[in-house]
Each structure stands twice: as C-alpha cells, then as structure tokens.
A and B are shown apart, each in its own frame.
Chain A
Amino acid sequence: MTVFIIRRLMQALLVVFLMSVIVFFGVNVIGDPVHMLVSPDADQADIEATIRRLGLDRPIWEQYLLFVSGAAQGNLGNSFIFGEPALKLILHHMPATLELAFSALFLAVAVGVPLGLYAGLYPDSPLSKGIMAGSILGFSLPTFWVGLMLIMLFAVELGWLPSTGRGDTGHILGIETSLATRDGLSHVLLPAMNLALLKISLAIRLTRAGVREAMGQDYVKYARAKGLSTRRIVFVHVLKNIMIPVVTVMGLEFGSLIGFSVVTESIFAWPGMGKLLIDAILQLDRPVVVAYLMIIVLFFVLINLIVDILYSILDPRVRLRDQGA
C-alpha cells in the first residue's frame, strides 16, 4: 500500500512541477512580464527599477529558478491592491470557499445518490421520469443563471433567505466555520444549492446508470437465487459496486466545485478565493492571479491523489493488483 502511495505522490509532484512551468512561462512569455508584475500606473523609471529588482533582465531559466525558490518559501509576490503577500491573501479566503465546496458536495451526494437510486430501480415510474428530466435541466442551466433565479425567488420574492454574504461563524471541532450557526447556515444554503445543482444532476445520472447496469449483472440474479431480500441486494451488493465510480467521479468533481465557486461567489458576494480571483483579474492584480493558479493546481493534484487512494481502498481488485506489482 505504501509503495502505491509513494508512486502516486511522485506522479503528483511531477504534475505540480509541470504546471508551475506552464503558469510561469505563460505569464512571463506570453503576457508582458513587466506589466504582469508591476502596478499599471508605474512610470518608466519605476518599470526599469522593477526590472532590475525582479531580475527580469536575467535569462528566463534563472527567473524561473528564482520563482520556484520563492514559491518554496511561500513567497509568491505581493498583491498590488492590498499590499500583502498574495499567498497570505488567498489562504485567508480559502476557508470560506472550502466551506461552500464541502456543503455543495454534501448536498450533491445526499440528494443526488438517493434520487438516482430510485430512478435506477423504478425507471418507468413518473417520478423517475421527472427526476431524469430535472437532471437534464440541472445539467444544462448555466450556474450563474440559476444563481440569479435563486436570488430572485428566495431572496427578493419570498424573502426567506439572505441573498449575499457569509453568515456568522462558530466553531465545529475547533474549526471556525459558518456552518455552526443558524445565521451562517441560512447564508450558505442558497450558494451551496447553486453550486451543487450541476453536481446533483451528475450524481443522479451516475447513480442511475450504475444501478441499471448493476441490476442486469449476473451477481444480482445469483443473489436473488440465494433468497436474499431486495433490500440487502440493493444496499449491499449493488451499492458497493456503484459507489466506486460514483465516489471517483464526485471526488474529482470536488476540484471543479472549487473552480466553479468562482461564479457562485461572485453572484452571492461570498468572500472566498473565487471572488478574490475575479476581482484580481478585473483589477489587474496579477500576483494574486498567479498565486491563485498555483494553489488551484496544488489542490487538484492533491484531490486526484486522494481519490486514487480512496478508489484503491474501495475496489479490492485495484488494491491487490497494485500490491502484487
């Protein structure tokens, strides 16, 4: 098992390295490197000073090494707007985004899997047809539009839920989160639902496809021949088989949740990393942009790694094969 983890870690490191090269060269070769790192209203003298100070007159390989060594120490430049280290800024906003993403993932699984299960077991019932139609809609509707509609419906028309911002925070297990307070929960509900909608549709379709495929398998027929109750067949035999692809995909989608949160955070004025990114792009705060990209890459690689490990725990065939390798 440890060999497996180490191997995956090495692969992960390779990817991070590659991405850092891409981001760095993308920023410095495609974009105008000086303007990337200097405030837009600097004058010529400032620009030249910056060039020398940041070593931009040195060969590109040296610059990259400088960048990497800086990054390894946690220095990814300072934000133009806030003057603070970009990394610190992003980490400060990360908990809010994580909170949102986890809530959305939880909703997606808690709502999507049962619905998909039902749709898979009773495909001809009117409820199932409704569920599938709903999933197509959830799949096609652009996230930002749904957010708009949610705000319009729940906040403006009905006035049940607040439309913007994050609520008060409390502590759960020592972590500061807004999920711990009622006010916090009321604030997180709409954005989480918005973010989750796409994933709920995905979960429904995945689960349903998995169930339909599983029910046709011989092992289900054999289980019935043994006289097992339908309940046991569905919840032990079938579920364990389909959880593997479902977990894998949902886990990988967690990364995209972080990415999509950009949209939701903008609409709901949720103070997370995503909103920070958009503001940074619009205000040309490039160090923050670069720092965000690197953090995201790191995140993705980590998530892929965790999902791989989780997959191997759930599917004995993968684990044992790797052990033998």
Chain B
Amino acid sequence: MSDMIAPETATPVAKVETPFRRFASEFFESRIATVALCLLGLIILLAVLAPWITPQNPYDLAQVDVLDGRLPPGSEAFAGYTMWLGSDGSGRDLYSAILYGLRISLSVGVASGIIALAIGMAIGLLAAYAGGRTENIIMRVVDLQLSFPAALVALMLVAILGKGIDKIILALVVAQWAYYARTVRGTALVERNKEYVEAAQCLGLSRLRVVFRHILPNCLAPLIVVGTVQTAHAISLEATLSFLGVGLPQTEPSLGVLIANGFEYMLSGRYWISVFPGLALLFTVVSINLVGDQLRDVLNPRLKK
C-alpha cells in the first residue's frame, strides 16, 4: 500500500464545491448523525415554542391544581385537556413541565458553554500569544484543573458558593473552560510549528497578527467539536447537580429537578414522573453527542482517508 500514489486532479469537477458544501455532504453521509441532528432541531424547536404549544404553564400556580396530581399518562386534567404524559406530584402536566424544563436545561447548558468557550478561548489565545513562562504557567493550571473530573469541580464550587442559578452557571463555566483552553492551545502548538507561521514571523508580522490571522481560524473547527460535546456534558452535569439537590432551585425547574422530584414515586410504581423527563434529557444529550461525534469525524484531518 505504501506504493500507492494519490490521484492527481486530472478530471474536472462539474459544479463548484465550496468547503461548506463538501462539509455538509460529508456530514450527512452518516444517517445516524442526520437523524440526530433532526431530533436535536425538533427538541430545540419544542423548547423555544413551549409557551405556545403547551396546554398549561406549569409554573403559574393559578393553572395548577393539586387534585390533578400523580395521574398516569393519558388522563384528563381538571381543566379539560389531556395529560399525555401524566402529571407529577403537585398536579403539573408533565408534558408542559418537560418542555419548560427543556428550556431551562438547554439555556443553562448552552449559556455556560458559550461563556466557558469565550473564556477558555481567550485564555488559550493569550497563552499562545504570550509564549514562554506565561504560557507554561497557564497550561499548568489548565492541566491541573483537567486532572479533576468536571463533576467534582462543579461540586466543589457549589459547596463553596451556595445555590442559585447564577452560581450554577458559574460553577459549570469554571468546570468547563479548561477543555476549551486546552483545545485552543493544541491548535496553537500545531500551527506554530508549521512553516508558514515562521515565514510570517520572518516577515516581521506582529505576534498578535499571527495569533489572530493564523491560529484563531484554525482552532475554530476543533472548538466546534469540543463545544458540542461539552454542551452535552454541561446539560448532563447540571441535571446531575440538580438531581442531587445542589443544583438549580425549585423555582427554576430544569429536567434534573423534575427527575429529582419524581424519584420518590419510583418505588411505588409511578414511574412516569421521573422517566419521561429522563427520556427527554436522554434524547437531548445523546443527539448532541451523536452530532458532535460526526462533526469530529468530518472535521478531523487525520481521520480522512
């Protein structure tokens, strides 16, 4: 096989193939990823449209009637609509609660992800730009933090800071930024060693320019991949923290909080109160992961045939 020569472009290409189009066609090669992407789109859509497509706002106490509580899926609520997924202990329609919960889970996960990305990228670029000892110190800190599992870091922060949605987001951000910083730095290392950077530096281009024109564009692809997977982690992590009772408070009921609320009913057979929010969480996280996986395969130059 070592004797094979790569085909030279002798045959003309019929239509203009932009990088994006090629990327898109490669991405959709995987049926699983395509399905996952559609599912994810659907989930996001449902979450965004929640106030308009749910029969009940589960957090408007006027609409909730405790007499509706603990009804199995398919039962009819006092107000006359069907509770397709049943109701929880306080009488909230689970379908509505899940959709509203999705909003919170998604926004917390995505918000913390974006902030962590911004911070991580900034620090990573700073390290790449500064070089030398500064870079070493920054990277040691990054490595140190990465040697602890994100869940533990988040727990530590929650223990110190206390409860509240802003504190949770902060904890999630601190737990995640290091992954982004490391990704950026990895790209910086690779790019710095490439000859064109040396050439650019020889031409007297400022370091700042090198960082922004060369390193930044090249780290976007791996950042996207890391970002997708990390967002899934963040959502999962928030759910875990909320489930344990140290995450979001009851006033901001994400999916994790819903699952926690339903835990006590598990053993008595009223599974739907925990299971359905759990499934919603599951579908969200799995589809993000599948999309992220395919993104990684498509964007990773080393895996290309």
User: In the complex the two chains form, what is the Cα distance from A41 to B265 in whole Å?
Assistant: 33
Q: When the two chains form their complex, are residues B246 and A296 in contact, meaning their CB atoms are under 8 A apart?
A: no
Q: When the two chains form their complex, are residues B278 and A148 in contact, meaning their CB atoms are under 8 A apart?
A: yes
In whole Å, how far is B10's beta carbon from the nearest beta carbon of chain A?
Answer: 29
Q: Does B177 contact A (CB under 8 A)?
A: no
Q: Does B274 contact A (CB under 8 A)?
A: yes
User: In the complex the two chains form, what is the Cα distance from A51 to B156 in whole Å?
Assistant: 24
A–B pairs, 12, beta carbons within 8 Å: A27-B160, A136-B289, A136-B293, A140-B289, A142-B236, A142-B240, A144-B243, A145-B282, A148-B274, A148-B278, A149-B278, A156-B267
Chain A's closest residue to B239 (CB) is A142
User: In the complex the two chains form, what is the Cα distance from A94 to B254 in whole Å?
Assistant: 32
Q: When the two chains form their complex, are residues A259 and B149 in contact, meaning their CB atoms are under 8 A apart?
A: yes
In whole Å, how far is B177's beta carbon from the nearest beta carbon of chain A?
Answer: 16
Q: When the two chains form their complex, are residues B149 and A30 in contact, meaning their CB atoms are under 8 A apart?
A: no
Over the window 137-164 of chain B, the binary record of Cβ atoms lying under 8 Å from chain A Cβ atoms (1 yes, 0 no) is 0000000100111011001101111100
Q: When the two chains form their complex, are residues B152 and A296 in contact, meaning their CB atoms are under 8 A apart?
A: yes
The SS class assigned to the A binding surface is: helix
Interface range on chain A (Cβ under 8 Å from partner): 35 or more
Question: Within the complex, which residue of A15, A139, A152, A262 is in contact with B271, where a contact is CB–CB below 8 Å?
Answer: A152
Q: Does A137 contact B (CB under 8 A)?
A: yes
Question: Within the complex, which residue of A31, A256, A293 is in contact with B149, where a contact is CB–CB below 8 Å?
Answer: A256
Q: When the two chains form their complex, are residues A143 and B282 in contact, meaning their CB atoms are under 8 A apart?
A: no
Q: When the two chains form their complex, are residues B259 and A144 in contact, meaning their CB atoms are under 8 A apart?
A: yes
The SS class assigned to the B binding surface is: helix
Q: When the two chains form their complex, are residues A156 and B147 in contact, meaning their CB atoms are under 8 A apart?
A: no
Chain A residues close to B by CB (< 8 Å): 15, 18, 23, 26-27, 30-31, 136-137, 139-145, 148-149, 151-152, 156, 163, 252, 255-256, 259-260, 262-263, 266, 277-278, 281-282, 289, 293, 296, 300, 304
Q: Does B266 contact A (CB under 8 A)?
A: yes
In whole Å, how far is A3's beta carbon from the nearest beta carbon of chain B?
Answer: 21
Apart from the given pairs A140-B282, A141-B285, A148-B275, 11 other A-B contacts in the complex at a CB distance below 8 Å:
A30-B161, A31-B161, A142-B239, A143-B240, A144-B239, A145-B281, A256-B149, A266-B244, A277-B155, A281-B246, A293-B159
User: In the complex the two chains form, what is the Cα distance from A140 to B286 in whole Å?
Assistant: 5
Q: Does B245 contact A (CB under 8 A)?
A: yes
Max chain B C-beta neighbours (<10 A), residue from A15, A263, A281, A293: A281
Chain A's closest residue to B262 (CB) is A148
Question: Within the complex, which residue of B148, B155, B278 is in contact with A300, where a contact is CB–CB below 8 Å?
Answer: B148
Q: When the two chains form their complex, are residues A282 and B267 in contact, meaning their CB atoms are under 8 A apart?
A: no
Chain B's closest residue to A28 (CB) is B160
Q: When the two chains form their complex, are residues A26 and B282 in contact, meaning their CB atoms are under 8 A apart?
A: no
Question: Within the complex, which residue of B246, B282, B290 is in contact with A278, where a contact is CB–CB below 8 Å?
Answer: B246
User: In the complex the two chains form, what is the Cα distance from A143 to B236 in whole Å?
Assistant: 9
In whole Å, how far is A163's beta carbon from the nearest beta carbon of chain B?
Answer: 8
In whole Å, how far is A73's beta carbon from the nearest beta carbon of chain B?
Answer: 24
Q: When the two chains form their complex, are residues A151 and B266 in contact, meaning their CB atoms are under 8 A apart?
A: yes
Over the window 272-305 of chain B, the binary record of Cβ atoms lying under 8 Å from chain A Cβ atoms (1 yes, 0 no) is 0011001001100110111001000000000000
User: In the complex the two chains form, what is the Cα distance from A137 to B148 in whole Å?
Assistant: 23
Q: Does B263 contact A (CB under 8 A)?
A: yes
Q: When the two chains form their complex, are residues B156 and A293 in contact, meaning their CB atoms are under 8 A apart?
A: yes
Q: When the two chains form their complex, are residues B160 and A145 in contact, meaning their CB atoms are under 8 A apart?
A: no
In whole Å, how far is B262's beta carbon from the nearest beta carbon of chain A?
Answer: 9
Q: When the two chains form their complex, are residues B286 and A255 in contact, meaning their CB atoms are under 8 A apart?
A: no
Q: Which residues of A contact B188 (CB under 8 A)?
A: none
In whole Å, how far is A84's beta carbon from the nearest beta carbon of chain B?
Answer: 20
Q: When the two chains form their complex, are residues B266 and A259 in contact, meaning their CB atoms are under 8 A apart?
A: no
A148-B263, A252-B147 known; A141 vs B160 contact (CB < 8 Å): no
Question: Within the complex, which residue of A26, A31, A136, A266 is in contact with B286, where a contact is CB–CB below 8 Å?
Answer: A136
User: In the complex the two chains form, what is the Cα distance from A145 to B279 in whole Å?
Assistant: 9
A136-B290, A281-B158, A282-B246 known; A152 vs B266 contact (CB < 8 Å): yes
Chain B's closest residue to A252 (CB) is B147
In whole Å, how far is B71's beta carbon from the nearest beta carbon of chain A?
Answer: 20
Q: Does B110 contact A (CB under 8 A)?
A: no
Q: Which residues of B contact A278 (CB under 8 A)?
A: 244-246
In whole Å, how far is B229's beta carbon from the nearest beta carbon of chain A?
Answer: 9
Q: When the two chains form their complex, are residues B266 and A260 in contact, meaning their CB atoms are under 8 A apart?
A: no
Q: Which residues of A contact B159 (CB under 8 A)?
A: 277, 281, 289, 293
Q: When the two chains form their complex, are residues A156 and B246 in contact, meaning their CB atoms are under 8 A apart?
A: no
Q: Which residues of B contact A26 (CB under 8 A)?
A: 160
User: In the complex the two chains form, what is the Cα distance from A136 to B232 in whole Å?
Assistant: 13
Question: Within the complex, which residue of B155, B259, B285 is in contact with A148, where a contact is CB–CB below 8 Å?
Answer: B259
Chain A's closest residue to B268 (CB) is A156
Q: Which residues of A contact B278 (CB under 8 A)?
A: 145, 148-149
Question: Within the complex, which residue of B239, B244, B266, B269 is in contact with A262, where a contact is CB–CB below 8 Å?
Answer: B244
User: In the complex the two chains form, what is the Cα distance from A260 to B289 in whole Å?
Assistant: 20
Max chain A C-beta neighbours (<10 A), residue from B160, B240, B245, B259: B160
Chain B's closest residue to A137 (CB) is B286
A31-B161, A262-B244, A278-B245 known; A148 vs B147 contact (CB < 8 Å): no
